Structure 1
Amino acid sequence: MLQLSQVGVTGRLAPFSAQIAAGLQVHLIGPNGAGKSSLLARLAGLLPGDGTIALDGRPLDDYQAGELARRRAYLSQQQPPAALMPVFQYLALHQPVGAAAQAVENAMLYLCQSLKLTDKLSRMLQQLSGGEWQRVRLAAALLQVWPSINPHSRLLLLDEPTSALDVAQKVALDRLLHEFCHSGRSALVCAHDLNHTLQQADRVWLLQAGQVVRQGVTHEVMEPALLSQIYEVDFHMQSTGNQRWIMTTTA
């Protein structure tokens, strides 16, 4: 579905190659400044760089802006409200071109109910709290590529999507991402919660100082010895029932 051949960003990310099959949730992890945001922006087609990115066998550079918007959605790490408009109008700007009005309304209602936004639809963007604004941004990105209204969508790129979300909202987002990927689409998520990645990710790309140092299935990458080396913190694995947790080691 997504193929990367020697993809890099000068001064930010060393070239590397990888591929992502349909239906996977891939997490990008690593210390601050590792190059995760640069990689997501490069994959979104918003940052120039080296190498070739192919989506469904077609180079990303060959897509027109409108075509690319139908196939992938991108949530940047930070974006303050830039326009004076209510939430429902902001969401409407992200609906796929050509989607049936009733289907869009149903999808928007479903996403807003899931993210607890139905009572915020008439509120002005500037009146939202940080957590509310983050949920609105997530709803907009999801609406753009939601399977029921966009049959062309393939990819969701999220840079620290759980920022400012509480526990219940994180669970709601997990459910939506699972549903999105279960439809045969893929999501790349920049994440900092290692245990969340351990429980939710199908694949992990581990970055350090502008390099992808390891990529693979989750249990192969999320090894305490490797993470301790990258983060310069001592980790160990704790098992509780059927769950495994990454814990810091105290002296």
Structure 2
Amino acid sequence: MLQLSQISVPGRFSAFTTQVPAGRRIHIIGPNGAGKSSLLARLAGMLSGEGQVLIDGIALDKLTGWQLAQRRAYLSQQQLPVSVMPVFQYLSLHQPATVQVAQLEQTINHLCSILRLLDKLAEPINNLSGGEWQRVRLVAALLQVWPDINPLSKLLLLDEPMNSLDIAQQRALDGLIEQFCATGRTAIISDHDLNHSLQLADDVWLMSQGQIEAAGKVDEVMQPERLSKIFDVEFVLNAVAGKAWLMMS
């Protein structure tokens, strides 16, 4: 579904090659400054660099902006609201072009209900709290590629999407990502919570100082010895309540 061939952004991260099958949830982990955001922006076509990114065999740089928007959604780490438009109008900017009104309304209601935004649809976006604005941005990204209304969508790219979300909202977002991936689409997410990645990711890309140090299945990559070297913290792996947990020793 997604092929990366020697992609890099000079000065930010070094060449990386991999193939990403459909239906996977991939977490990018690593210390601050490792290059995670730059890698996501490169995959989204928002940052130029070297190498080639293919989505379903089509090179990223061969897609028009419109074609790219049909195939992937990208949530940057930070974005400030810059207008006074209401939430429903902001979301309309992210809807697929050919969707029927009834389908669109049903999808918006579904996403906003799960992320607890139904009562904010008429609210100006500049009046929202930080957590509300983050959830609006997440709904917009999901709406752009939600399978029920966009059959061409393939990829969801999220840069630290859990920022400003409480525990219940994080769990709700995880459920939506699971729904998205269950349709054979792929989500690639940068994450600072190692245990969150350990328990929910299918695959992990571990970065440090602009290098992808390891990439593969979560239990193969997230070994305490490897993580301890990267984060300069001693980790141990324990089993608690039937789940694996990384703990600092």
- What TM-score range do you get, normalising by the shorter chain? over 0.9
Which residue is 1:48 aligned to? Answer: 48
Report the equivalent of 1:155. 155
Task: Report matched runs for 1:1-40 at 5 Å.
Answer: 1-40=1-40
Report the AA paired with residue 25 of structure 1.
R
Deviations 1:146-167 (A, max 9, x none): 0000000000000000000000
Q: Distance in 2 between matches of 1:29 and 1:114?
A: 26
- Aligned amino acid, residue 209 of structure 2: A
What does 1:78-227 correspond to in 2, within 5 Å? 78-227=78-227
AA matched with 1:177:
I
Identity of aligned residues (%): 55
SS at match of 2:81: coil
C-alpha distance in 2, partners of 1:114/1:241?
27
Post-superposition offset of 1:242 = 1.6
**In structure 2, distance between residues paired with 1:73 and 1:83:** 21
1:82 CA displacement: 1.2
- Say what the alpha-carbon RMSD is for the aligned residues: 0.5
Cα deviation for residue 83 of structure 1 reads: 1.5
Letter in 2 for 1:185: R
State the alpha-carbon separation in 2 of the partners of residues 93 and 102 from structure 1: 17
Structure 2 Cα separation of the partners of residues 229 and 97 of structure 1: 48
- Superimposed CA distance per residue, residues 145-200 of structure 1 (whole angstroms, 9 cap, x where no aligned partner): 00000000000000000000000000000000000000010000000000000011
Post-superposition shift, 1:240? 1.3
Q: Deviations over 1:196-240 (max 9, x none)?
A: 000110000000000000000000011100000000000001111
4+ aligned runs moved over 2 Å, structure 1:
none
* Displacement after TM superposition at 1:241 (Å): 3.2
* Letter matched to residue 82 of structure 1: V
Residue identity in the other structure for 1:10: P
Q: CA deviation at 1:77?
A: 0.2
1: CA distance, partners of 2:180 / 2:104: 16
For residues 72 and 97 of structure 1, what CA distance do their matches in structure 2 show? 14
TM superposition score normalised by structure 2: 0.99
What is the total number of aligned residue pairs between the two structures?
249
Q: Which residue of 2 aligns with 1:230?
A: 230
SS at match of 2:82: coil
